[in-house]
Amino acid sequence: MKALLLLFLTASCLADTVTMKDGTFLKGRIERIASGVLEMRVPALGEANVQRLQLALVESFVTEDAVLVSSGGVVSRGPANAAGGRVASQGGVETSLLDVALELWRDPSLRVGVSNDYRSKPLPTQVKTDTAYFLRTTYVWK
């Protein structure tokens, strides 16, 4: 049981973090940055909802996974972080300004999952357990 709890705790800590200028922070997954807007999925606010944050209100951010960062035509790949108005990526040598020209995106991904819905008191026409399989493809382009 302790190992399972540790696994869930470790998995929940692996998330991108965005700190706003007013001191609040969000943990989730940064999907992309384009045209001065940071788009992020925050599980605590509902996985289906994408939060769109104005980049001018962002103090700093850190990505756990490798992302692609571009500013001024130079593209670098690797985990990225921003602080003090500058953005750095482990895959790049130079830093970029945290401004409207900055773009960040992830490689296309494919996710497969299973959703199980259990009804303890189903209607006479319903089955007790309903299992759905889903496939989600994510591709971001400009």
- The low-confidence residues of the chain, meaning pLDDT below 70, are 1-14, 47, 109-120, 127-142
Instruction: Show the tokens assigned to 54.
Output: 């104005």
pLDDT of 125 reads 79
The Cα 49–Cα 45 span in angstroms is 7
Q: Residues 87-102: pLDDT tens digits?
A: 988 877 778 888 888 8
Q: How far is CA 3 from CA 9, 10, 11, 12, 15, in A?
A: 10, 10, 12, 14, 20
Q: Are 38 and 61 in contact (CB under 8 A)?
A: yes
What is the Cα–Cα distance from 135 to 102, expressed in whole angstroms? Answer: 31
For the chain, the domains span 2-107
- Residue 60, helix vs strand vs coil: strand
Q: In DSSP terms, which residues pair with 33 in a beta bridge? A: 38, 104
How far from 85 is each of 36, 59, 96, CA to CA, in Å?
13, 7, 9
